[in-house]
Amino acid sequence: MRKIWIVLAAMVAAVAVAVPAGAAVREAVPAQSKGPLKVGTNLPAPGFWTGNTPSDIKGGFEYDLAKAIATKLGYSGIEVVNVSFDALVAGKAQGFDLAFSQVTITQDRAKVVDFSTPYFDSDQGVMVRKGTTVASNAAAKKLQWGVQTGTTAQSYLKETLKPKKKPRVYQETSQAFAALQAKQVDAVMLDTAIVLQQAAASKGKFEVVGQYLTGEKYGAVLPKGSPILKDVNQAITDLKNDGTVGRLAEQNLGGDPAKIPVLGS
Q: How far apart are CA 265 and CA 263, in angstroms?
A: 7
pLDDT, tens only, 189-214: 999 999 998 998 999 999 999 999 99
Q: Which domains does the chain have, with CATH numbers?
A: 36-120+217-259 (3.40.190.10), 123-216 (3.40.190.10)
Instruction: Give pLDDT, residue 265.
Output: 54
254 confidence band (pLDDT: 50, 70, 90): confident
Answer whether residue 256 shows pLDDT above 80: no
pLDDT of amino acid 33: 64
pLDDT for 4 equals 35
With 80 as the cut, is the pLDDT of residue 29 above it? no
pTM of the prediction?
0.71
The whole-angstrom separation of Cα 61 and Cα 245 is: 8
Q: In angstroms, rounded to a whole number, what is the distance separating the alpha carbons of residues 58 and 52?
A: 10
What tens digit of pLDDT does each residue of 158-173 get?
A: 999 999 999 999 999 9
Q: Which of 28, 22, 192 is nearest to 122 (CA)?
A: 192
| Residue 22 scores a pLDDT above 60 | no
Give 212's strand partners. Answer: 124
The Cα 26–Cα 8 span in angstroms is 24
Q: What are phi and psi of 175, to 5 degrees?
A: -70, -40
Task: For residue 167, give the DSSP letter.
Answer: P
Residue in 67, 3, 5 with CA at minimum distance from that of residue 38: 67
CA-CA distance, 159 to 161, in Å (whole number)?
Answer: 6
- Round the average pLDDT of the chain to a whole number and report it: 88
Q: Which among 219, 196, 198 has a CA at the least distance from the CA of 88?
A: 219
H helix or E strand, kind and range, residue 2 = helix 2-18
pLDDT in tens, 8-20: 344 434 433 333 3
pLDDT band at 257 (very low <50, low <70, confident <90, very high): confident
Q: Quick one: CA torsion of 100, 38, 34, 70, rounded to 10 degrees?
A: -20
Q: Considering only residues 260 and 234, tell me which one the structure prediction assigns the higher pLDDT.
A: 234
User: 250 CB contacts (<8 Å, ≥6 apart)?
Assistant: none
pLDDT: which is higher, 24 or 105: 105
Residue 2: its pLDDT value, please? 39
Burial, 47: exposed, middle or buried (Cβ in 10 Å; 0-12, 13-18, 19+)? buried
What is the pairing mode between strands 206-218 and 120-129? antiparallel
Alpha carbons 112 and 92: distance in angstroms, whole number = 9
